[in-house]
Chain A
Amino acid sequence: MTTAERDWASFAEPDGDGRLAMELAVDGIHCAACMTRIEHSLAAVPGVERARVNLSNRRVSVSWRPDETDGSAIVSTLADIGYDARPFVRGQIDDSFRRERNALLRALAVAGFAAMNVMLFSVSIWSGNATDITPETRLLFHWISALIALPAAAYAGQTFYRSAFGALRHGRVNMDVPIALGVILALGLSLYGTITASADTYFESALMLLFFLLLGRVLDHAMRRRTRTFAENLAALRADTAVVIDSDGTLKERPVNEVPSGALVRVAPGDRVPVDGVVVEGRSEIDQSLVTGETILQSISVGAPVYAGTLNGEGALTVRVEAAGAGTLLDEVNRLLDRAMTARSRSVALADRVARYYAPFVHAAAFLTFLGWLALGAGVERSLVVAITVLIITCPCALALAVPAVQVTAAGAFFRNRLLLHSGDALERLAGVDTVVFDKTGTLTTPSAQIANLSELPETLVAAARALAAGSRHPVSVAISAGPKPSSVASDLRETTGFGVEGLIDGCPSRLGAPAFVGVEAEAAALAARYPDATLVGVRVEGQAPAVLAVQQVLRSDAAQTVAALKGRGFAITILSGDRVPAVGRVAEALGVIDWRAGLKPADKIAALEAMQGEGRRVLMVGDGLNDAPALAAAHVSISPVTAVDVSQAAADVVFLGDRLAPVPMALAIGRRARRLMGENLGFALVYNVFAVPIAVTGHVTPLIAALAMSASSILVTANSLRAQKVPREMQVASPQSSSSASIGETVVAT
């Protein structure tokens, strides 16, 4: 069978001059040296027009002349110098993020420029008011300020006006409503003051407010963009492609979302099944632990349904693609997912909850101020001016920064701890968690099987087993051969389907496979009692005593410590698994978890979660399988490992990288700390209002006081938020060693 050619039309884009261009996600770019190396090597390929590394998002953009070279040459050049590169599918990169960032930066620049220049005039006026400025000069300065401030504020404040208008139109109030109102009123009052030649204007306050708020938005955007970029790279490196059999019999590798229903897809032995469909040719064993949580291999043949995400065994399959039909597992998952997602939106973010009370409060205060001054005999104009200054000074700059600033800093702390935060408000929800629910397969255990009794086996036999297993694509063989390259050399390998592999190890005849094939039934029976869930594999090298390997999914290296640490912190722990009762029971026993349930379907998991939440518990769900996706969406907050299926990662609030479970308690700790800092920030903002509102209500606010008070409170809140950077010690699980296996993880740490 020839290997499939990538269908480059799906990846590369013509750039106008007859050249093709594409972006690649490259794993392992760490430093400037990598950058130079990649650029030099690619430039040396004939036909490559331009190659540029982007070190911030770890991508390479290449353009080449299609008549001289092609994409495969570029990818193989990168592979030759040690970088795993995968092209992005056209349209996979979301460019709207970049455009949005640029729009925010432009607004920030305009607001900054205008604020500084208006401040130049305002400071002159304030010092002039105290000394001998002439009314004519002051009026000139006010007019110049107005000419700068009005267009600048109209341009820079667009985000806020739009959002406030959108909220009002739907009959809601968000934090942007008092902001937009404050800015517009400050500008209006100042323009009125300029026209009537009054001494006070608030142009600089309005502009500085916009500048600070935009700064917050830019940082917030940068945080979300970094997570997003990283997720896009992971998706590309995971290569969601399928090998399609064209009508003329040629094989083409295409992005999964471009494979039409009804197409024939070839699944090589040992590959993940890329699509849902029905087997039309071939027979094999399928590992569907990622889909159902079940760890036992299932035999399939013609006519059997297969699901995306399952791992194919030793036989090549041809699968006819089917869209998710009614009644399939995927259909059920999708249906439950929709329902669970709508339930999630019930939880209202902290900032919106505050806005709901804050906006009516300040508007009422301003209205009462107006009535009060009117009742005390001040004219309508004076009363109106005082009422508007109340609105200006209570414009919630600090309040609007209080939550996002903490979210940005905490997301940075997440990133450094190998956690990707999908939504900022997940932090608040993490802080409230009192119950942690784990899935078993792939979450508490490692995503792939390992040799469980490795420490009891002689090293030479393990090396022999690895070398023999390397010749087979059976899932069990793949699990055995994983890891460092074996020291033994295997030759003359022959595979007997359903039994095992035989060959020469360093010249000695050897066998690896089912106990009966190797002749170690007695040893296997003895081991079966100790490892009831394991697949037992015999290995024999002539001249040595044979041995039996127990291959099964083992607990993550720090699962026990993590569960113990969580229990020590007072969290209730539950295991909800789709696997069989004995397998789950043994894991629960090993971890000391009393509350566990097995054999659950996706709907059962949701029901269990809803029952817990009905008791008033706030549940953190940690899971990875397709069967966990609805539960992840239904839980108060959810985390999934990076090895999880796409649907689950999309449903989860946080994704963690690496082989260890320690990021889970870390996420909870950072969440709690962030929630506390948000509370402090809101407290600061409240204290600010306690002082500022009486001054405004009594009519003593001057533009100088307004500018000072608003900037000071914003800076204070931002500075306090930076404390979310520090990683709390309390939750750290003692780490045996930092895992270095995942190069993706290193990429994160290096940032």
Chain B
Amino acid sequence: MNILLILVPAALLLGLIGLAAFLWSLKSGQYDDLEGAKWRILNDDDLPEDERPEHRDGGSEHETRSHMG
């Protein structure tokens, strides 16, 4: 049963890390725009110019895309 002396603190530590990570993300405003966040992952702006896919350019995309329902 001595193994508990390691396992119990390890389990609690992992839980606390998860809790701390959540509280940090909450504090840094990551839950303020859940709707926008899911689209921003598709944004290529952070890539260098030559690695971006060809097809997109500012305005034309807006017209071709129907409104999200």
- What is the interface of chain A, defined by CB distance below 8 A to chain B? 30-37, 40, 53-57, 98, 102, 105-106, 109-110, 113, 116-117, 120, 134, 137, 140, 144, 148, 746, 749-750
Complex: chain A residue closest to B66, CB-CB: A31
Distance in angstroms between the alpha carbons of A611 and B6 in the assembled complex: 75
Distance in angstroms between the alpha carbons of A690 and B1 in the assembled complex: 43
Chain B residues 45-69 with CB under 8 Å of chain A are 45, 58-59, 61-62, 65, 67-69
Given contacts A749-B69, A750-B67, A750-B68, contact A53 B36 (CB under 8 A): yes
A117 close to B12 (CB less than 8 A): yes
Distance in angstroms between the alpha carbons of A212 and B13 in the assembled complex: 24
Taking CB atoms, residues of chain B closer than 8 Å to A105 are 26, 31
Question: What distance in Å separates the Cβ of B2 from its nearest Cβ neighbour in chain A?
Answer: 11
Complex: chain B residue closest to A53, CB-CB: B36
Complex: chain A residue closest to B61, CB-CB: A33
Given contacts A32-B42, A750-B68, contact A109 B23 (CB under 8 A): yes
Complex: chain A residue closest to B36, CB-CB: A55
Give 1 or 0 for each of B9-23: 1 = CB within 8 Å of chain A CB.
001100110110011
Name the one of B15, B58, B59 contacting A117, with C-beta atoms under 8 angstroms.
B15
Taking CB atoms, residues of chain B closer than 8 Å to A144 are 8, 12
Q: Interface size class for chain B?
A: 20 to 34
Taking CB atoms, residues of chain A closer than 8 Å to B19 are 109-110, 113
Complex: chain A residue closest to B8, CB-CB: A144
Distance in angstroms between the alpha carbons of A57 and B35 in the assembled complex: 9
Distance in angstroms between the alpha carbons of A401 and B10 in the assembled complex: 35
A37 close to B62 (CB less than 8 A): yes
B68 close to A113 (CB less than 8 A): no
B11 close to A102 (CB less than 8 A): no
Name the one of A31, A37, A57, A140 contacting B68, with C-beta atoms under 8 angstroms.
A31
Taking CB atoms, residues of chain A closer than 8 Å to B22 are 109
Taking CB atoms, residues of chain B closer than 8 Å to A56 are 32-36
Given contacts A30-B68, A137-B1, contact A55 B39 (CB under 8 A): yes
A117 close to B39 (CB less than 8 A): no
Question: What distance in Å separates the Cβ of B59 from its nearest Cβ neighbour in chain A?
Answer: 7
Distance in angstroms between the alpha carbons of A57 and B33 in the assembled complex: 8
A106 close to B23 (CB less than 8 A): yes
A31 close to B67 (CB less than 8 A): yes
Distance in angstroms between the alpha carbons of A417 and B16 in the assembled complex: 42
B69 close to A750 (CB less than 8 A): yes
Distance in angstroms between the alpha carbons of A106 and B19 in the assembled complex: 9
Taking CB atoms, residues of chain A closer than 8 Å to B40 are 32, 35
Complex: chain B residue closest to A147, CB-CB: B12
Interface centre among A35, A98, A134, A148 (most CB of B within 10 A): A35
A37 close to B31 (CB less than 8 A): no
Question: What distance in Å separates the Cβ of A5 from its nearest Cβ neighbour in chain B?
Answer: 30
Distance in angstroms between the alpha carbons of A503 and B58 in the assembled complex: 42
Distance in angstroms between the alpha carbons of A297 and B40 in the assembled complex: 52
A35 close to B67 (CB less than 8 A): no
Name the one of A33, A35, A113, A140 contacting B36, with C-beta atoms under 8 angstroms.
A35
Question: What distance in Å separates the Cβ of A32 from its nearest Cβ neighbour in chain B?
Answer: 3
Given contacts A750-B67, A750-B69, contact A54 B62 (CB under 8 A): no
Distance in angstroms between the alpha carbons of A750 and B69 in the assembled complex: 4
A54 close to B18 (CB less than 8 A): no
Taking CB atoms, residues of chain A closer than 8 Å to B26 are 102, 105-106, 109
In order of increasing CB-CB distance, the 6 nearest A-B pairs are A32-B39, A55-B36, A56-B35, A55-B35, A31-B68, A30-B67
